[in-house]
Amino acid sequence: MTTAQAMNIKELKEGFGGDILLPGDSLYENARKIWNATIDKRPALIARCSATRDVARAVDFARDKGLLLAVRGGGHNIAGNAICDDGIVIDLSAMKAVNVDPAARHATVEGGATLADMDAATQKHGLATPLGINSTTGVAGLTLGGGFGWLSRKFGMTVDNLESTEVIMADGRLLHANETEHPDLFWALRGGGGNFGAVTEFTFKLHPVGPNLLSGLMVYPVSEAKAVLRQYRDFIAAAPDELTVWAVLRQAPPLPFLPSDVHGQEIVVLAMLYVGPPEDGEKAIAPLRGFGTLLGEHTGVQPYVDWQKTFDPLLAPGARNYWKSHNFTKLDDGLFDAVIDYIGRLPSPQCEIFFGAIGGETTRKAPNFTAYAHRDARFVMNVHGRWDDPADDTRCIAWARNFFNASAPYASSGVYVNFLTSEEVDRVRAAYGPNYDRLAQIKRKYDPQNLFHINQNIVPA
């Protein structure tokens, strides 16, 4: 390290309440790891912030020194936007406080909190807001891209439930953005990704949920996949908003409720949650049992926080991941044929294709209500390539890309921005849809030099 670099870092450390991690420090190697192991970047320094003032100081430092700047919340983004080479990472992972006001039904959440942090705090009061399906995901990244999960058909997208934000801007200012203060910025933050600043605090509207709900899995053989998927399509079109059912195709993990001879075989899984009285849920899910030959079922009443962690073992950090995604307004038979074809040649036991059913309340807002625009989407499909050995990169990535191309004729025009990989710059306009030009104008107003550009970037107008 040169004397000039050492002086610069000393300047940043003065008054910085968190930790500054440099290459060679004992905590550095672990701190630069993120969820997706295909991302291997080495920042010049990691500023692990303890408070909002640390974030402002780090933003000022990056801007004044002309450094690349990445912002890390949960570090879960598939594209690896939480980390950069040779620049500075503003690491919010130590800022994970969640404060719940049960009487007002809202929660204020710091930018480093995970879904597990937020769900645990809100469910103490029998409250929740729509979040994702993997408890290690960061609340910040999920929210800024739109956010959806098991509660979305009933209560809308995550951004539909966002009430206000606290943001450090490119010029170092702290702004409060909501419907009355900087409403243009607030609109942009609800789906515009990390383009507009470092969000250090979110306040969400909460809803009565649980704490115990009917949820679970039903498993069918892949030999009956087309019949099951056709029935699923018709069923979910008529299902109440309280019921969410996702369809997942993959090889069977060694789940205890499945016969041992099913383990490792290709299966169709219907994963479900009912937001309401369990006895109503039992009636709602009963028809699903008639879709085919049930290989196994594990449904029942359990805490919502436990259901939110159900898929964590299949999505643990440290594996290599590559995703491709489409939105769908409807599911065609031709799409089912393509899915069945590609599930028949999985390149890794961890790979899967899922259809996340949204619809319901997510479709009842205009496309320009928030920066998240895809209000016509009733399903978000993710082709989830996942494996452990770098030697398998080419094979697994090719499988995901080829299925993505095979399914494209059946897709709608948009794509969920949080599922885009770093290479998909040609799909950025599709991710923001008809709101892109408005977002570009707001970007010019708040970040004209594009300091915050390690993301699915909106170029200032």
**Which residue range forms the structural domain that includes residue 72?**
15-91
Residue 430 lies in a domain: no
Q: State the pTM of this model.
A: 0.95
Query: Residues 25-75: pLDDT tens digits?
Result: 999 999 999 999 999 999 999 999 999 999 999 999 999 999 999 999 999
Mean pLDDT (whole number) for 417-438: 95
Q: Of 91, 111, 146, which residue is a domain's last?
A: 91
pLDDT class of 9 with cuts at 50, 70, 90: confident
What CA–CA distances, in Å, run from 40 to 83, 149, 334? 9, 29, 38
Give Cβ neighbours of residue 440 (< 8 Å, ≥ 6 apart). Answer: 458, 459, 460, 461
Residue 120 lies in a domain: yes
Mean pLDDT (whole number) for 161-171: 98
Q: Of 169, 185, 209, which residue is a domain's last?
A: 209
Residue 153 CA to residue 242 CA, distance in Å, equals 7
Q: How many domains in the chain? A: 3
Do 246 and 103 lie in one domain? The reply is no
Do 397 and 328 lie in one domain? The reply is yes
Residue 427 lies in a domain: no
Do 223 and 370 lie in one domain? The reply is yes
Residue linked to tokens 């030697």: 391
Do 326 and 392 lie in one domain? The reply is yes
Q: Of 185, 209, 233, which residue is a domain's last?
A: 209
Query: Residues 86-119: pLDDT tens digits?
Result: 999 999 999 999 999 999 999 999 999 999 999 9
Do 151 and 228 lie in one domain? The reply is no
User: Which CATH number covers residue 290?
Assistant: 3.40.462.20
Q: What is the pLDDT of residue 2?
A: 47
Do 77 and 108 lie in one domain? The reply is no
Residue 414 lies in a domain: yes
Do 86 and 197 lie in one domain? The reply is no
